[in-house]
A = this chain, B = another copy of it.
Amino acid sequence: MSDIDILVSEVGPRDGLQSIRTIMPTAAKIAWIDAEAAAGVREIEVASFVPPKLLPQMADAAEIVAHAKTIPNLAVIALVPNFKGAENAIRAGADKLGLPLSCSETHSQANLKMTHNQVIDEVRKIRALIDTLPAAERPGFEGSLSTAFGCTLEGKVPEGQVVRLAARLVEAGVDELSLSDTTGYANPNQLRRLIKLVRAEVGADKLAGVHLHNTRGLGLANVVAALEEGITTVDSSLGGIGGCPFAPGASGNIVTEDLVFMLDSMGLKTGIDLEQLLTVRNTVLAALPDEEMYGFTPDAGLPKGYAGGGWGLGA
C-alpha cells in the first residue's frame, strides 16, 4: 500500500448487512462490492462465515468471497467466529480472516457463545490450520478486540483486560490486531491511550487498524486521534449501515463517504475516487430501500470548487 497513506476497509457487506433485517440478494451484494472496488476501495470485508440459520443474510458467503476474489487489487476479508468458519473461509479463498474477541466476557458469550479461553483455543486451531497451507496460500489472520472501549452489558472494560487479551491473541497466533469500538463508547483520549498501551505490549507493527462506530457522533473525531497515533487502517461502512446485533443501541458504523471526504480533504491518499464513491450509495439504496443510511457528505455534496488532496490549504 505504498501509494496510499490510509487503507479504508469497507465493512458494510458484512457488518452492515448482518445487522439489518433485509436479506440482500447475492446479485445486489456483488453489485455493491464491484462498485466500491471500481471507486478504488482496496479492502472489503465481504461476508461472515457463520451458520446460515443464525445469520441468513450471510448464507451466500462462499459465493460472495469467490466473486470478490476475481476483482483485481482487492483484499477480500471474511469474518470467522470459530475454527469451522475459518475452514469454510479458507476453502472459499478469503485473503484474510478476521476473528472478533469481545474483551467483555459477557458480550463474548452473547455474541460468539464462547468464553475468552474458548475463543483463544479456536485461534490456536485456526493458526495451526493456516500453517498447514503452502506459504503462498496462507490467508492473513486478524484478531479484532471488540468492545475494547466499553460494553453495553458490562459497562466499563478495564484497559488491562484489553491489553492482556491482545497479548493472548498474538501468542495464540493472529498476525495482527485491530481495536474495535463495538458500542460507540470510545473517546479520542481513550483511543490514543489504548493504542499506546496495546502497542507497548505487543509491538506497534501488530496493531494497524481501528474499527469505530458513530453511535454518539464521535466516530470521525476518534479517527483523527487514531491517525495521530499512526494507525493506517480504518474500517467504515457505506452509508453507516450496521453495527452489532448483540449490542443494543450500538447502531452506526462510521460512514465511508464522510471518512473518505475527511481523509481526502486532509491530503491523505486513500486511492479512492471520492466522487465515484458517492455514487455507490445509489446502488446500495436501490437494494435496501427500507434501511436508514447515514452520512452528511452525501447530502451536503462536496465543497464548491473542491479539488481534493489537501484542499483548502495554501494560498
Q: Is A190 an interface residue (CB 8 A)?
A: yes
Q: Is A91 an interface residue (CB 8 A)?
A: no
Q: Is A19 an interface residue (CB 8 A)?
A: no
Name A295's closest neighbour in chain B (CB-CB): B217
Residues of B within 8 A of A258 (CB): 216-218
Q: Is A304 an interface residue (CB 8 A)?
A: yes
Most B Cβ at <10 Å: residue of A155, A183, A310: A155
Q: Is A223 an interface residue (CB 8 A)?
A: yes
In chain A, positions 142-174 with a C-beta closer than 8 Å to chain B are 149-156, 158-160
A305 and B266 in contact (CB under 8 A), knowing A252-B296, A258-B217, A312-B150?
A: no
Interface size counted on chain A using CB atoms at 8 A? 56
Q: Is the CB of A314 within 8 A of B159?
A: yes
Minimum CB–CB distance for A198 against chain B, Å: 14
In chain A, positions 249-267 with a C-beta closer than 8 Å to chain B are 249, 252, 255, 258, 261-262, 265-267
Residues of B within 8 A of A215 (CB): 296, 300
Where chain A touches its partner, the secondary structure class is: loop
Q: Is A224 an interface residue (CB 8 A)?
A: yes
Q: Is A313 an interface residue (CB 8 A)?
A: yes
Q: Is A233 an interface residue (CB 8 A)?
A: no
Docked CA distance A295–B295 (Å): 12
Docked CA distance A252–B160 (Å): 39
Residues of B within 8 A of A74 (CB): none
Cβ-neighbour of A185 out of B187, B267, B312 (below 8 A): B312
Q: Is the CB of A312 within 8 A of B156?
A: yes
Q: Is the CB of A296 within 8 A of B216?
A: yes
A217 and B312 in contact (CB under 8 A), knowing A187-B266, A303-B155, A303-B183?
A: no
Q: Is A221 an interface residue (CB 8 A)?
A: yes
Residues of B within 8 A of A311 (CB): 156, 187, 190
Q: Is A76 an interface residue (CB 8 A)?
A: no
Q: Is A139 an interface residue (CB 8 A)?
A: no
Residues of B within 8 A of A310 (CB): 189
Docked CA distance A295–B215 (Å): 10
Contact with B along A292-307 (1 / 0, CB 8 A): 0001110011011111
13 A-B contact pairs sorted by A residue (CB < 8 Å): A152-B304, A153-B304, A155-B303, A156-B311, A159-B313, A184-B296, A187-B266, A188-B266, A189-B266, A190-B265, A214-B296, A220-B221, A221-B262
Residues of A within 8 A of B (CB): 149-156, 158-160, 183-190, 193, 214-218, 220-221, 223-225, 228, 249, 252, 255, 258, 261-262, 265-267, 295-297, 300-301, 303-307, 310-315
Besides A183-B303, A184-B296, A190-B266, 16 other A-B contacts (C-beta < 8 A): A150-B303, A152-B303, A153-B304, A155-B305, A156-B305, A156-B307, A156-B311, A158-B314, A159-B314, A188-B224, A190-B265, A216-B297, A217-B262, A228-B228, A249-B300, A252-B296
Q: 8 closest A-B pairs (Cβ-Cβ)?
A: A155-B305, A217-B296, A217-B258, A187-B265, A220-B221, A155-B304, A190-B312, A189-B266
